[in-house]
Amino acid sequence: MSKKIGDVILDLQNISLRFGGVKALTDISFNVREHEIRAIIGPNGAGKSSMLNVINGVYHPQEGKIFWRGKERKRMEPHMAAQQNIARTFQNIALFKGMSVLDNIMTGRMTKMKANFIEHALWFGRAKSEELAHRRKVEEVIDFLEIQHIRKTPVGRLPYGLQKRVELGRALAAEPSMLLLDEPMAGMNVEEKQDMCRFILDVNDQFGTTIVLIEHDMGVVMDISDRVVVLDYGKKIGDGEPEEVKNNEEVIKAYLGAGH
Amino acid sequence: MLYREAGQFKTTYAADQQLFPIRQDRIGLLLLLAVAFVGVPVLASEYWFSAILIPFLIFSLAALGLNILTGYAGQLSLGTAAFMAVGAYAAYNFQLRVEGIPILVSFICAGLTAAAVGILFGLPSLRIKGFYLAVATLAAQFFIVWCLTKFPWLSNHSSSGVISAQDIVIMGFNFDTPVSKYLLVLAIVSVMALAAKNLVRSSTGRAWMAVRDMDVAASVIGIKLMPTKLLAFAVSSFYCGVAGALYAFCYLGSVEPDGFSLDMSFKILFMIIIGGVGSILGCFLGAAFILLLPIFLDFTLPGVAELFGLPFSNATVSHIQILIFGALIMFFLIVEPHGLARLWQIAKEKLRLWPFPH
């Protein structure tokens, strides 16, 4: 695979995050380069999800700086991350249960829609044309993820693996430049995992989307990621290419326990 | 057999996204509208208009308002009747104090006033959710009713805050007969129901539902929670406000603040629970169920009692009526917790496949 990895687009410097007396993250620095697949791994409770939440503005670190495309980022709210083209999926599926697959994925394009509610109520002006234009884009995502047959199904009725795929679809609909995936393969069987890997690699390959993912399946992580960050107890203990990380003493200790 | 979509192919997204994608639905709705606008005025009696049809339509509209807020945006509210009161008193005051203002403009202004009040009482929703929010909206219920009795200016210094609605005159035509009032209410409700349907199928509605189903995910997608929730409060209160104005002008003629009690708020809440939370059709079904069933029982129970030779007094009949009403509510909620609208939807799905099970 010959892909171009670009410059650093996200640079985190000395990030510390506390919840009261609990230190979730301590002095963590790493960066993400354009078009790469960057994995964050670590044992349970290492602070991986907190890390993603810091990146897209759900949590606000007490210390440290975040540079997005070379500019320092001020405190931001989650919806601003969407405007900066950062999309994400969640560890526990966070789909909108009462809505159909199509509507769920349409919400991913919300920030791109300009019509206001009066136009919507009267179905007038931009309301209709926008709806159709975005439907076309959403159908492309649906085709890409091979979920045409369930587009009108309420997501609550779908099996777990498909729900995960719809959630990826919702994130992709925003045409993000950076995609954060929180355990995209948790709880899946081998076949579903293979599908998901294929989709992640395709997204990266076809759209050039930068991907930051958290995953516990080491086989998957080592296979698909370009660089890996390892966290343990909120501290960074390893960073580098999969081969490097695999042979890192500290990482082995964290995963297998110190006594071995 | 009649209800099939086989052979109705959609070749454009526009065709797939129209309001009623199935042809039979479109025909059915047109027939229903034709009956409502032409058939009913010819056939129904005065009693039907003023005691059944007009209140049914007005409560459907109020239920629509509450359903937008509770069913679509997921914000529980117990202040519906209060927002209706704001609408009723606002329409009265606009008619009274603004020289030559057309009645329909008064109704719209009444809706807007209610929307403003709704936004004010919607502010707590930014911090609290669920039952706690319901209690916060309860404040609206009591505060607004108190305000209307406390400040005599609002009811033009009438005793105990009773207002008598002015005549409804549009372009020189006086809507003073029950039939004409019915047609006016029907027209307004139809237009507003259509607007509500459009709202909930557009990205405004999707934003509301996203906030309802999973607010963290909604904000990560780029939905701003505060404007979305407040818009839901505003639109919902607008609907309730217009319903309140119609309630005063087209149904009762004169209203007092205490008429818009907590009881009424609960009644409307029950309508959407029975009819279907998060369904436009459900508002109409729920309103019909809650309003018409007692009347229906009133008519049939004495006859049934006589049939079996039971010596029922009037008091017993009315107690039994309440009993049966309660039992039916429980029955429907157990059979289908998502309301009558969901039952209707299941029936339609079954019909599409009939006579095959799958």
CA of B327 vs chain A CAs: smallest distance (Å): 28
Q: What is the mean pLDDT of chain B?
A: 89
Instruction: Tell me which amino acid residue B151 is.
Output: F
Bigger pLDDT: A231 or A80?
A231
pLDDT value at A217 more than 50 = yes
CA of B213 vs chain A CAs: smallest distance (Å): 5
Are A131 and B221 an interchain contact pair (Cβ–Cβ within 8 Å)?
A: no
CA distance B273 to B252: 26
Are B222 and A174 an interchain contact pair (Cβ–Cβ within 8 Å)?
A: yes
pLDDT value at A57 more than 60 = yes
* pLDDT computed for residue B267 by the predictor: 92
Interface check for A83 against chain B (CB to CB < 8 A): the answer is yes
| Beta-strand runs (E) in chain A | 8-19, 22-33, 37-41, 63-68, 71-72, 86-88, 178-182, 210-214, 227-232, 235-240
Are B210 and A136 an interchain contact pair (Cβ–Cβ within 8 Å)?
A: no
* pLDDT computed for residue B351 by the predictor: 82
| Mean pLDDT calculated for residue range A160-174 | 92
Are B217 and A95 an interchain contact pair (Cβ–Cβ within 8 Å)?
A: yes
List C-alpha distances in Å: A111 to A103, A107, B218, B323: 14, 8, 11, 51
* pLDDT tens track for B103-146: 999 999 999 999 999 999 999 988 888 889 999 899 999 999 99
* pLDDT computed for residue B2 by the predictor: 67
What phi and psi values does residue B313 have, to the nearest 5 degrees? -85, 170
Q: Which of residues 124-153 of A touch B (CB under 8 A)?
A: 127-128, 130-132, 135-136, 139
- The answer for residues whose C-beta is within 8 angstroms of residue B34's C-beta and 6 or more apart is none
* pLDDT tens track for B304-332: 877 887 777 777 877 888 888 888 888 88
pLDDT band at B158 (very low <50, low <70, confident <90, very high): confident
pLDDT value at B23 more than 90 = no
Task: Indicate the CATH number of B36-353 among 1.10.3470, 1.20.1440, 1.10.150, 2.40.128.
Answer: 1.10.3470
Smallest CA–CA distance from A152 into chain B, residue = B16
pLDDT band at B173 (very low <50, low <70, confident <90, very high): confident
CA distance A211 to A256: 27
Q: Which of A119-123, A255-259, B186-190 has the highest mean pLDDT?
A: B186-190
Bigger pLDDT: B164 or B159?
B164
* pLDDT computed for residue A33 by the predictor: 93
Are A139 and B220 an interchain contact pair (Cβ–Cβ within 8 Å)?
A: no
pLDDT band at B287 (very low <50, low <70, confident <90, very high): very high
* No. of helices (H) and no. of strands (E), chain B: 16, 4
CA of A84 vs chain B CAs: smallest distance (Å): 10
Residue ranges of domains in chain A, CATH in brackets? 1-85+176-190+210-260 (3.40.50.300), 92-175 (3.40.50.300)
Contact of B274 with B329, CB cutoff 8 Å: yes
Predicted interface score ipTM higher than 0.90: no
| Mean pLDDT calculated for residue range B253-272 | 92
What phi and psi values does residue B156 have, to the nearest 5 degrees? 55, 45
When CB atoms are compared, the residue of B220, B223, B278 closest to A88 is B220
Minimum mean pLDDT among A78-82, A168-172, B245-249: which range?
A78-82
Chain pair A-B, CB pairs under 8 angstroms: 110
Bigger pLDDT: A137 or B357?
A137
Are A94 and B214 an interchain contact pair (Cβ–Cβ within 8 Å)?
A: yes
Are A111 and B17 an interchain contact pair (Cβ–Cβ within 8 Å)?
A: no
Give residue limits of the domains in chain B.
36-353
* pLDDT computed for residue B153 by the predictor: 92
Residues of chain A above pLDDT 70, percent: 97
Are A120 and B13 an interchain contact pair (Cβ–Cβ within 8 Å)?
A: no
Smallest CA–CA distance from B196 into chain A, residue = A121
